[in-house]
Amino acid sequence: MRASDAERERVAEALREAVAEGRLDMEEFEERLEKTYKARTHGELAPLVRDLPTPGVRTPAPAAPEASGGVDWPSRIGGEATSRGAFAFWGGFGRKGTWTIGRKFTAFAMWGGGDIDLREARFESAETVIRCFTIMGGMGVTVPPELTVRVRGFGLMGGFGDKATGEGTPGSPRVTVTGFALMGGIGVERKQRKAAKRGLGGTPRKELG
C-alpha cells in the first residue's frame, strides 16, 4: 500500500523522539530519516520503526504464518540492495540465495545466459521491477509460490515464457518482470523454496508438477 505524506511525517517524528531519548545515535537517525522521506510504501516505512515505540503510527500488521505460506515477508522487505543488475556476454551470471534485489533490476545476456532466483532473496522495496533483455541467449527467473508476480515481456524470433503470473500471500512484495528476447528465450516460473520442500521436520516433500 502506498504511504501518505502524513504517515511519512509520523515516522519521522517517531525517529526524532527516539534520538532525543537516546534510542538512536545521530548517524543512524540521519540514515533512517533519509529513507523515511524517500519511502513510497508502508513496506518501506515499517522496518524503520519496527524496533522503536511508535504510538499513533499505523504500520501493516504482520500476516499470520499460515496465511503467508510460512514466509516472514516483513523481515525480507527493506535494506540496502546487494545487486541492481547483471550482465553476460559469451558467459553467464547467477543471482541466488540470500541476496537483496534492488527496486529496479536490469539483466542483459548476449550469446550467454543467466539465472535470477528470488526464492530466498530479500527485497529493497515492496515494489520491484525486473527488466530482462537477451539477444541469442537465455535467461531464467525463478520465484516462490508465495510471491505476487506479473510478467509483461515479449519475444521476437524468440520467446518470453510466463508460468508465474499470479497473486502471492498477504504482505508479499509485488514483482513485475518485463523486457524482451531477440532470437533467444526468457522464462519465468514458480518453484518451492528449499525449506518448503524439506518440510517442517526436514523430510523432503514431493514437488507437484
Band of pLDDT at residue 196, cut at 50, 70 and 90 = low
Rounded CA gap, 187 and 171, in Å? Answer: 25
Q: Is residue 70 part of a domain?
A: no
Rounded CA gap, 33 and 9, in Å? Answer: 10
Rounded CA gap, 104 and 81, in Å? Answer: 10
Identify the pLDDT of residue 205. 42
Query: Quick one: which of 122, 209, 134 has its CA closest to 173?
Result: 122
Identify the pLDDT of residue 207. 38
Q: Is the pLDDT of residue 146 over 80?
A: yes
Q: Is residue 66 part of a domain?
A: no
Q: Is residue 104 part of a domain?
A: yes
**Are residues 147 and 50 both part of a single domain?**
no
Q: Is the pLDDT of residue 56 over 70?
A: no
**Are residues 132 and 54 both part of a single domain?**
no
**Are residues 40 and 118 both part of a single domain?**
no
**Are residues 92 and 153 both part of a single domain?**
yes
- For residue 57, give the DSSP letter: -
Rounded CA gap, 14 and 20, in Å? Answer: 10
**Are residues 82 and 56 both part of a single domain?**
no
Rounded CA gap, 159 and 138, in Å? Answer: 10
**Are residues 19 and 90 both part of a single domain?**
no
**Are residues 111 and 170 both part of a single domain?**
yes
Identify the pLDDT of residue 198. 52
**Are residues 93 and 146 both part of a single domain?**
yes
User: Which set of grid coordinates corresponds to residue 40?
Assistant: 513510497
Query: Quick one: which of 92, 192, 195, 79 has its CA closest to 134?
Result: 92
Band of pLDDT at residue 182, cut at 50, 70 and 90 = very high
H helices present in the chain, as ranges: 5-20, 26-38, 42-49, 73-76, 194-198
**Are residues 189 and 89 both part of a single domain?**
yes
**Are residues 89 and 155 both part of a single domain?**
yes
Q: Is residue 165 part of a domain?
A: yes
List the domain range (segments joined by +) for residue 28. Answer: 5-60
Q: Is residue 126 part of a domain?
A: yes
Q: How many domains does the chain have?
A: 2
Rounded CA gap, 102 and 73, in Å? Answer: 16
Pairwise pLDDT comparison (40 vs 87), residue with the higher score: 87
Q: Is the pLDDT of residue 166 over 90?
A: yes
Rounded CA gap, 24 and 82, in Å? Answer: 25
Rounded CA gap, 143 and 116, in Å? Answer: 9
Q: Is the pLDDT of residue 169 over 60?
A: yes
Examine the fold and report which residue of 36, 60, 84 is the final residue of a domain before the chain moves on. 60
pLDDT in tens, 99-109: 999 999 999 99
Q: Is residue 15 part of a domain?
A: yes
Identify the pLDDT of residue 206. 40
- For residue 206, give the DSSP letter: P
Q: Is the pLDDT of residue 64 over 60?
A: no
Q: Is residue 157 part of a domain?
A: yes
**Are residues 120 and 177 both part of a single domain?**
yes
Query: Quick one: which of 170, 207, 171 has its CA closest to 189?
Result: 207
pLDDT in tens, 95-131: 999 999 999 999 999 999 999 999 999 999 999 999 9
**Are residues 35 and 89 both part of a single domain?**
no
Pairwise pLDDT comparison (59 vs 15), residue with the higher score: 15
Number of other residues whose CB lies within 10 A of the CB of residue 47: 17
Question: Can you tell me the mean pLDDT for 193-202?
Answer: 55
Q: Is residue 65 part of a domain?
A: no
